[in-house]
């Protein structure tokens, strides 16, 4: 004979509710944006938020179901929601399993351009004492291949790295030999202005699978103003180089970055049109960084965060319009943020990582053998600040560099999950920390976040993206495609 369930089975489902971790931020007089432990967003009114916090919920009242589905509340003793959140958090943090996959070789400080916003303390082309030596390069390779990552990327930077192209060739061939013997995969990127690109370089890149990354700040007049060189033809050489690289290496083997100067602020449409004209499939709208010549020439102080965010919003909405008209074209930083917001895929981009990607995401080997936690840390050192110098390839191995006090201290301060202001921010799950930026601008790796331009940019971009996702269905579908969700 069938038996009834015990009386406790019919108890009020809301009586045993408990809160799960979540953050919230007021977005209007009667509205809040709420995010759970892994950054799923839900919008609640003032009354709804108070009812959730007070656990005044009942099955069937709609708010109970929304709060439960958003992992804001759970039943005491129930493990499934906590386990799901833990699994998703582990997936999002899985980048920590591949420690130091990126290794940046600064093969020379020499450059034939004289960009006023240059983040690097470049040297003139005739000062060869600023070239990396072969001995330093091979010692740097020893460190790079000691990284526990199963696959590493070696990126050649400068200055203009093609001014020391023979050394690049030696490093690539030596790294490929070590890769075959060790079983550790290796990829290569050359970050170049392409002015010195020739058939020899292209053939070497083609035969060794090397990607090219360059700078394109917009149409000719703007690019030449931002990136001057003798002859005033930096734009023509960059565009020619992009075309040749696409022809010889393939359309997906060359990319371009732009930097927003004061002259760029009113020309975002022109900049995007130039990228389309050249045949590129997207753009990364970047602000100036407070390093190198950008500080010496006072370029960094030419505009504030609000002006840059206005520039960014105009650009993003123009790109969405281009997509609505049938041309696929992405804004790459938005795509990265969307991947964080809409999926649990790990992100390698350092601005969207906690703990910070300095050192554990990348190591930088300067031309003189000094090793830095990030490229920005190297730029600070060129101005006399060695806060992020970890050691030297002549005296240090991978382990001593990674466990050095400057890196451990910076990493420990970069955890947004427990940093003041960050730990309670509704965007914490999708943001990251930039200890080098905050050290450079505030003299402290942790930084005072309400005074941080980095923080203001991140929150501004994410707020814009959420607004589009919430209010513009057609544009939201485009953004979701960018994230692959």
Q: Tell me: the pLDDT tens digits for 240-273?
A: 999 999 999 999 999 999 999 999 999 999 999 9
Distance CA 217, CA 226 (A): 7
pLDDT given for residue 54 in this prediction: 96
DSSP for 30-66, please give it: TEEEEEETT--EEEE-HHHHHHHHTT---TTSSHHHH
**What does residue 271 show for φ and ψ, rounded to 5 degrees?**
-65, -45
Entry pTM: 0.91
Are the C-beta atoms of 103 and 153 separated by less than 8 Å?
Answer: yes
What digits encode the pLDDT tens for the residues 369-385?
A: 999 999 989 988 888 89
**Rg (Cα) of the chain, in Å, rounded?**
25
* Cβ neighbourhood burial of 349 (10 Å; 0-12, 13-18, 19+): middle
What digits encode the pLDDT tens for the residues 32-88?
A: 999 999 999 999 999 999 999 999 998 889 999 999 999 999 998 889 999 999 999
Which candidate, 283, 206, 289, places its Cα nearest to that of 245?
A: 206
CATH number of 97-402: 3.20.20.70
What digits encode the pLDDT tens for the residues 386-438?
A: 999 999 999 999 999 999 999 999 998 889 999 989 999 999 999 998 899 99
Break the chain into its structural domains and give their ranges: 12-89, 97-402, 408-471
Coil/strand/helix, residue 349: coil
């Amino acid at each position: 004979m069938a038996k009834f369930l015990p009386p406790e089975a019919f108890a009020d489902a809301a009586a045993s509710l408990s809160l799960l971790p979540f953050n919230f931020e007021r977005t209007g007089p009667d509205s809040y944006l709420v995010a759970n432990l892994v950054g799923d967003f839900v919008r609640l009114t003032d009354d709804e938020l108070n009812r959730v916090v007070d656990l005044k919920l009942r099955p069937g009242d709609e708010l109970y179901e929304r709060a439960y589905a958003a992992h804001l509340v759970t039943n005491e003793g129930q493990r499934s929601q906590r386990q799901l959140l833990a699994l998703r958090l582990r997936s999002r943090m899985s980048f920590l399993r591949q420690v130091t996959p990126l290794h940046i070789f600064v093969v020379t400080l020499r450059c034939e351009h004289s960009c006023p916003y240059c983040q690097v303390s470049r040297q003139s082309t005739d000062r060869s004492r600023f070239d990396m030596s072969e001995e330093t390069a091979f010692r740097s390779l020893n460190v790079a291949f000691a990284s526990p990552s199963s696959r590493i990327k070696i990126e050649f930077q400068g200055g203009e790295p093609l001014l020391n192209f023979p050394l690049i060739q030696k490093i690539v061939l030596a790294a490929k030999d070590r890769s075959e013997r060790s079983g550790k995969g290796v990829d290569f990127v050359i970050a170049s202005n392409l002015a010195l690109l020739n058939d020899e370089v292209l053939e070497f890149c083609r035969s060794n699978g090397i990607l090219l990354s360059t700078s394109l700040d917009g149409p000719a007049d703007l690019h030449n103003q931002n990136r001057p060189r003798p002859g005033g033809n930096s734009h023509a050489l960059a565009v020619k180089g992009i075309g040749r690289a696409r022809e010889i290496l393939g359309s997906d083997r060359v990319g371009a970055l732009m930097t927003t100067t004061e002259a760029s602020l009113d020309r975002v449409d022109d900049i995007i049109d130039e990228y389309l004209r050249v045949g590129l499939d997207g753009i990364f709208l970047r602000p100036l960084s407070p390093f190198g010549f950008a500080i010496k020439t006072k370029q960094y102080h030419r505009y504030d965060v609000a002006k840059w965010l206005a520039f960014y919003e105009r650009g993003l909405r123009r790109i969405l319009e281009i997509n609505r008209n049938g041309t696929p074209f992405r804004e790459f930083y938005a795509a990265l943020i969307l991947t964080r917001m809409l999926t649990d895929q790990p992100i390698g981009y350092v601005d969207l990582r906690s703990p910070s990607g300095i050192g554990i995401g990348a190591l930088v080997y300067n031309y003189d053998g000094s090793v830095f936690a990030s490229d920005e840390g190297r730029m600070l050192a060129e101005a006399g600040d060695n806060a992020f110098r970890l050691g030297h390839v002549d005296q240090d191995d991978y382990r001593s560099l990674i466990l050095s006090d400057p890196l451990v201290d910076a990493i420990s301060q970069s955890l947004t999950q427990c940093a003041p202001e960050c730990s309670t921010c509704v965007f914490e799950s999708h943001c990251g920390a930039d200890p080098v930026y905050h050290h450079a601008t505030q003299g402290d790796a942790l930084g005072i976040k309400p005074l941080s331009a980095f923080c203001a940019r991140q929150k501004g971009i994410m707020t814009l993206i959420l607004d589009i996702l919430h209010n513009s269905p057609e544009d939201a579908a485009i953004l979701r495609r960018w994230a692959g969700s």
